[in-house]
């Protein structure tokens, strides 16, 4: 039986950032001992109420499933929506991680986070949390949220 590491991510109007996050995850987990019969799959929550034209870029990515929220639910609401949509597919041996695509969550942290979870027998440990001590977003992510003209920075 194959077990799955599900990565749930709500990249609000930023499919390019999600693709970068996905590349980082694949790069950092490839040396990680996923073990035989384990795979990584991604659930992208379109939290725009079908208003994101770039989300179609993800439809042809084999390991990505897109779920569409009916309207903007907010960040936490989008995660809950994605987890609820995914719940019927989660097997006992599967693992689930939520991540942001804005550069705040680092793919390099996954092996350490998952190491704690995957050393336990299935069902014995349900949740592992990461505690962030500092907030850090990439410069590119900050510029996506704000208009960054050469003459200065102006909020949207």
Tell me the CATH number at 89: 3.40.1380
Tens of pLDDT, residues 64-87: 999 999 999 999 999 999 999 999
The domain total for the chain is 1
Residue 112 has pLDDT above 90, yes or no: no
Q: Is the pLDDT of residue 19 over 60?
A: yes
Rounded CA gap, 104 and 74, in Å? Answer: 17
> Above pLDDT 90, what percent of the chain?
46
- What element of type H or E holds 40? strand 38-46
> Do residues 1 and 35 touch, judged by C-beta distance below 8 A?
no
- Domain range for residue 107? 3-155
* Distance (Å, whole) CA 86 – CA 84: 5
Residues 44, 85: contact at Cβ < 8 Å? no
More confident: 135 or 130: 130
């Amino acid at each position: 039986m194959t077990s799955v590491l599900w990565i749930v991510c709500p990249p609000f109007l930023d499919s390019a950032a999600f693709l970068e996050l996905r590349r980082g995850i694949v790069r950092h987990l490839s040396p990680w001992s996923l073990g035989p019969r384990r795979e990584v799959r991604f659930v992208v929550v379109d939290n725009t109420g079908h208003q994101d034209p770039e989300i179609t870029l993800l439809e042809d990515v084999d390991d990505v499933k897109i779920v569409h929220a009916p309207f903007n639910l907010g960040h936490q609401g989008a995660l809950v929506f994605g987890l609820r949509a995914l719940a019927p597919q989660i097997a006992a041996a599967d693992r689930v991680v939520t991540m942001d695509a804005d550069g705040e969550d680092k793919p390099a942290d996954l092996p350490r986070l998952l190491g704690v979870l995957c050393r336990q027998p299935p069902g014995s440990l349900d949740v592992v949390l990461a505690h962030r001590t500092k907030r850090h977003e990439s410069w590119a992510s900050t510029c996506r949220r704000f208009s960054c003209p050469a003459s200065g920075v102006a909020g949207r």
